[in-house]
Amino acid sequence: MKKVFFLLFFVSFYLKINAQLRLPKLVSDGMILQRQTPLKVWGWDNEGAKIQVKFQNKIYKTVASKSGNWQLTLPTFEAGGPYQMEVSDAKTKITINDVLIGDVWFCSGQSNMVHQLNIHDVTYAKEIAEANFPQIRQFWVPTLTNTVSAQEDIPNGQWKKAVGEEVRPFSAVAYFFAKKLHQKYQIPIGIINASVGGTPIEAWISEGGLPEIPNIKELVNKNKDTARINETNRKSLEYSRSLPQPSDEGMMGKWYETTYVPKNWKNINVPGYWEDQGIRNLDGIVWYRKEVNIPASMIGRKAKVFLGRIVDADELYINGKRVGSTGYMYPQRRYAVASDILKEGVNTFVVRVTNNGGKGGFVPDKPYCIFSEKDTIDLKGTWQYKVGAVFQRQNNPNTVSPISLQNQPTALYNAMVAHAIPYAIKGICWYQGETNTGKSVEYAQLLPALIKDWRQKWNNTSLPFLYVQLPGFMDYDYLPSESSWAVLRESQAKALSVPNTAMTVAIDLGEWNDIHPDNKKDVGERLALSALKLAYHENVIHSGPSLLSSEIKDQQIILTFDNIGSGLKTKDGEPIGDLAIAGADKKFVWSKSKIEGNKIIVWAEGISNPKFVRYAWSDNPINPNLINAEGLPASPFRTDN
Contact 527, 632 (CB under 8 A): no
Q: What is the pLDDT of residue 19?
A: 72
Contact 317, 287 (CB under 8 A): no
Residue 13 predicted with pLDDT over 70: no
Could you tell me which residues are beta bridge partners of residue 138? 160, 191
Instruction: Give residue-wise pLDDT tens across range 447-458.
Output: 999 999 999 999
Q: What is the pLDDT of residue 393?
A: 74
Percent of the chain at pLDDT exceeding 90:
92
Exposed e or buried b per residue across 207-223, where buried means at least 16 C-beta atoms within 10 angstroms of its C-beta: bebbbebeebeeebeeb
Cis ω before 271 (30° cut-off from 0)? yes
Residue 240 predicted with pLDDT over 90: no
CA-wise closest residue to 466 among 168, 208, 33, 106: 106
Instruction: Give residue-wise pLDDT tens across range 494-508.
Output: 999 999 999 999 999
Contact 601, 624 (CB under 8 A): no
- pLDDT category at 345 given cuts 50, 70, 90 is very high
Residue 16 predicted with pLDDT over 80: no
Instruction: Give residue-wise pLDDT tens across range 347-368.
Output: 999 999 999 999 999 999 999 9
Give the mean pLDDT of 601-612: 96
Residue 15 predicted with pLDDT over 60: no
For the chain, how big is the Rg over CA atoms in Å? 28
Give the mean pLDDT of 168-184: 98
State the Cα–Cα distance between residues 504 and 430, nearest whole angstrom: 10
Q: What is the pLDDT of residue 392?
A: 82
Contact 39, 85 (CB under 8 A): no
The distance from CA 74 to its chain's CA centroid, rounded to whole angstroms, is 34
CA-wise closest residue to 200 among 507, 450, 518: 450
- Please name the residues in contact with 447: beta carbons below 8 A apart, sequence gap of 6 or more: 201, 467, 491, 492, 494, 495
Could you tell me which residues are beta bridge partners of residue 594? 601
CA-wise closest residue to 348 among 311, 390, 309, 320: 320
State the Cα–Cα distance between residues 589 and 606, nearest whole angstrom: 9
Type of residue numbered 130: E
Residue 7 predicted with pLDDT over 50: no
State the Cα–Cα distance between residues 230 and 400, nearest whole angstrom: 12
- Please name the residues in contact with 85: beta carbons below 8 A apart, sequence gap of 6 or more: 41, 53, 54, 55, 95, 96, 99
Q: What is the pLDDT of residue 9?
A: 45
Which residues in 295-391 belong to E strands, given as ranges? 303-307, 310-311, 313-318, 321-326, 334-337, 345-355, 361-362, 368-372, 375-378, 381-390
Residue 279: phi and psi, rounded to 5, are -110, 120
Residue 538: phi and psi, rounded to 5, are -80, 150
DSSP 92-131: -EEEEEEEEEEEEEEEEESHHHH-BGGGGTTTTHHHHHT-
Q: What is the pLDDT of residue 5?
A: 41
Give the mean pLDDT of 277-304: 95
C-beta neighbour count of 304 within 10 angstroms = 14
DSSP 8-state class, residue 318: E
Q: What is the pLDDT of residue 8?
A: 41
Contact 556, 611 (CB under 8 A): no
Q: What is the pLDDT of residue 18?
A: 58
Residue 3 predicted with pLDDT over 60: no
State the Cα–Cα distance between residues 325 and 363, nearest whole angstrom: 16
Cis ω before 214 (30° cut-off from 0)? no
State the Cα–Cα distance between residues 477 and 41, nearest whole angstrom: 54
Q: What is the pLDDT of residue 75?
A: 97
C-beta neighbour count of 629 within 10 angstroms = 12
What is the average pLDDT value for the chain, to the nearest integer? 95
Burial class (CB in 10 A: 0-12, 13-18, 19+), 293: exposed
State the Cα–Cα distance between residues 149 and 146, nearest whole angstrom: 6
215 dihedral zone (left: phi>0; alpha: psi -120 to 50; beta): left
How many residues are given for the chain? Answer: 641
- Please name the residues in contact with 77: beta carbons below 8 A apart, sequence gap of 6 or more: 33, 35, 36, 39, 56, 101
Could you tell me which residues are beta bridge partners of residue 491? none
- Please name the residues in contact with 15: beta carbons below 8 A apart, sequence gap of 6 or more: none
- Please name the residues in contact with 368: beta carbons below 8 A apart, sequence gap of 6 or more: 270, 271, 306, 307, 308, 362, 378, 379, 380
Instruction: Give residue-wise pLDDT tens across range 181-228.
Output: 999 999 999 999 999 999 999 999 999 999 999 889 899 999 999 999
Q: What is the pLDDT of residue 190?
A: 98
Instruction: Give residue-wise pLDDT tens across range 51-66.
Output: 999 999 999 999 999 9
Strand, coil or helix: what is 13? helix
Instruction: Give residue-wise pLDDT tens across range 419-431.
Output: 999 999 999 999 9
255 dihedral zone (left: phi>0; alpha: psi -120 to 50; beta): alpha
Give the mean pLDDT of 250-256: 97
Could you tell me which residues are beta bridge partners of residue 335? 305
Residue 4 predicted with pLDDT over 60: no
Pairing mode of beta strands 427-431, 93-109: parallel
Type of residue numbered 486: A
Handedness of CA 475, 481, 484, 490 (dihedral sign): positive
Instruction: Give residue-wise pLDDT tens across range 308-329.
Output: 999 999 999 999 999 999 999 9
Give the mean pLDDT of 529-539: 98
Q: What is the pLDDT of residue 214?
A: 84
Instruction: Give residue-wise pLDDT tens across range 502-526.
Output: 999 999 999 999 999 999 999 999 9
**What global pTM score does this model have?**
0.93
DSSP 8-state class, residue 14: H
Contact 638, 613 (CB under 8 A): yes
Pairing mode of beta strands 556-562, 546-553: antiparallel
Residue 108 predicted with pLDDT over 80: yes
